[in-house]
Structure 1
Amino acid sequence: MAHIDLGVDEQTNPGITGLLKFRPETAKPLNELAEVLLRAPNSLSPGERELIAAYVSGLNECDFCYASHSATANAQLDSDATLVDQVVGDLDSAPVSAKLRALLRIAGAVREDGRKVTTELVAAARAEGATDVEIHDTVLIAAAFSMYNRYVDGLGTLVPGGQDMYAQAARRIVEFGYAR
């Protein structure tokens, strides 16, 4: 049960869903930010950007965001369903491109402390072909998802078990997006 009365059934509105319904005036810009960061035209695919969000959420131990963005990443990537777990478990051996691995290292640094993003991390990403927009967006995705994670966990929202609900939500996001 959330720390505050959200005025919704938490079983049908778990995690951030209940929070967004509680404050629709903040939901709109939060959803629009997620839409731009994760789905707008970009040289990184939506699946890659969802993977960055899931990676940060996993490092932050935000179970709801990790499960939901893992499901959404898996729904969009042509990969094994355990890819996100592999990336969080051992980034160095995970089956991702060298460019994405370098960007994920930047995301991990942002998640810990934005000042931990070094010129060396940025140079390594550039050496693997990352553009300035990709580096920018990786930093912003990591920063935003650290905020989303703290929002969800800070208000103690419900984290349902099982993958069915997350897979259904992922299908809706892939089809309709965040700012629906």
Structure 2
Amino acid sequence: MPSEETRTMTPPTVRSSAAHDAGKAGGASTRAWTMRLLVLGIVLSALNLRPAITSLGALLEEVRDGLGMSGSVAGLLTSVPPLCFAVFGVMAPRLARRFGAGAVVCAGMVAIATGLLIRPYAGGTAGFLAGSALALMGIAVSNVLMPVIVKHWFPDRVGP
């Protein structure tokens, strides 16, 4: 029996287009636009899952010099991503059950944007680490739940 944390969400029920159109005029058009917006949201969300991690490696020396970080603090900074992924990635299924996967991913996107906005304006190492951790928390939960959303809305198109 799967545990509470490994249970997956059931796919949405799919109604026939005739039943959908009987409920309201232009239903197929509305559904098509909804699906397009979902795909756009998934693609844009997926594109935001990497910049906080990949941008730092190329600029680590400049960040270290600009903030006056020691080598050990710079080493700590490079260990923040796996730490956030481990801690918050594990919490993602629970959060999704409580608030819904879409809401958690949206909150994750807000956390990513906020963390990335804080980092350049952080006056010191602590602020930079806090902004990085916030962005990485958002990445962790979004990265875990993005496949759940794709499987939920597009169960027959998970591969593509």
TM-score by length of 2: 0.27
What TM-score do the two structures reach when normalised by structure 1? Answer: 0.25
**Higher Rg of the two aligned structures:** 2
